[in-house]
Amino acid sequence: MLEISGLTSAYGRIEVLHGISLSVPASQLVCLIGGNGAGKTTLLRAISGVQPLKSGTIRFDGQDITRLSAEERVKSGIAQVPEGRQIFGSLTVEDNLNLGGWLHGGGTSAERDAIYAMFPILGEKRNLAAGGLSGGQQQMLAIGRALMSRPRLLLLDEPSMGLAPVLVEQVFGVIESLRTRGITMLLVEQNAAAALAKADYGYVIETGRITHSGPSAQLIGDPKLREAYLGI
């Protein structure tokens, strides 16, 4: 569904992604792991169209989207749950969801109800300012907002970051349920062992290059990765 080939990207003159090739098959959960500053966020932002490429191509559903704007990519079915959530704290929970549905008039009440069914706490707090939500609730809202754009591919940037263990489990539970609904996902996680345990396939990125890739079970069994990333 998503095919990236030879992608390079830079901040000014400093290239930080050096020829990334990666694919995400339809209905699969693919995870991307790597240390701080490896380029994970830059890669997700390049896929969603907010980070310019120097070279390389991005294909989505067989279509070359390399030159499409970020807005056109959302229209084509790609949504990102950004690092650090980036919800609008002064707006209500419901208005944050409506913003996620802006491409089709703010979304329908049925769509919002589906999000509230998935995250009941958001329904209870729908009329409250989103800035008052806990970290975990804000993460649920960031996921809900992305779902409002009716994505077929969801890019998740460290959704469990900074959450208490019980909420980390809840976020992984949500990812699991999205997967059973057939949503294709590319998941960036520092919580590598937990992410790989759920994923079909994984990639390891080190200073802007993919150094390892394979079915999750194979990566989990790799002694080098176990030591460097999985803490096993």
Ligand X SMILES: Nc1ncnc2c1ncn2[C@@H]1O[C@H](COP(=O)(O)OP(=O)(O)OP(=O)(O)O)[C@@H](O)[C@H]1O
Least separation in angstroms between residue 94's CB and Mg ion is 28
Q: Decide the pairing of beta strands 209-215 and 201-206.
A: antiparallel
- Which residue number places its CB atom closest to Mg ion? 41
Q: Under the criterion CB under 6 A, does residue 11 sit at the interface with ligand X?
A: yes
| 37 touches, from Mg ion, ligand X, none (C-beta below 5 to 8 Å by class) | ligand X
Site for ligand X in 56-95 (CB under 6 A): 83
Q: Which stretch binds ligand X (CB under 6 A): 38-46, 62-70, 94-102, 174-182?
A: 38-46
Question: What whole-number distance in Å separates Cα of residue 133 and Cα of residue 139?
Answer: 9
Q: Under the criterion CB under 6 A, does residue 42 sit at the interface with ligand X?
A: yes
Q: Which of 197, 217, 202, 232 is nearest to 34 (CA)?
A: 202
- Please select the residue that binds ligand X; options are 33, 39, 98, 199, rule is CB under 6 A: 39
The DSSP-derived string for 117-180 is HH-HHHHHTTTSBGGGS-HHHHHHHHHHHHHTT--SEEEEE-TTTT--HHHHHHHHHHHHHHHH
DSSP 103: G
- Please select the residue that binds Mg ion; options are 21, 41, 57, 92, rule is CB under 5 A: 41
Question: What whole-number distance in Å separates Cα of residue 93 and Cα of residue 163?
Answer: 19
Q: Under the criterion CB under 6 A, does residue 16 sit at the interface with ligand X?
A: yes
Least separation in angstroms between residue 108's CB and Mg ion is 33
Which amino acid type is present at position 166?
A: V
- Please select the residue that binds ligand X; options are 37, 131, 132, 162, rule is CB under 6 A: 37
| 42 touches, from ligand X, Mg ion, none (C-beta below 5 to 8 Å by class) | ligand X
Q: Under the criterion CB under 6 A, does residue 118 sit at the interface with ligand X?
A: no
Which whole-number Å values give the CA distances from 52 to 55, 71, 84, 153, in the listed order?
A: 9, 14, 21, 20
Least separation in angstroms between residue 194's CB and ligand X is 16
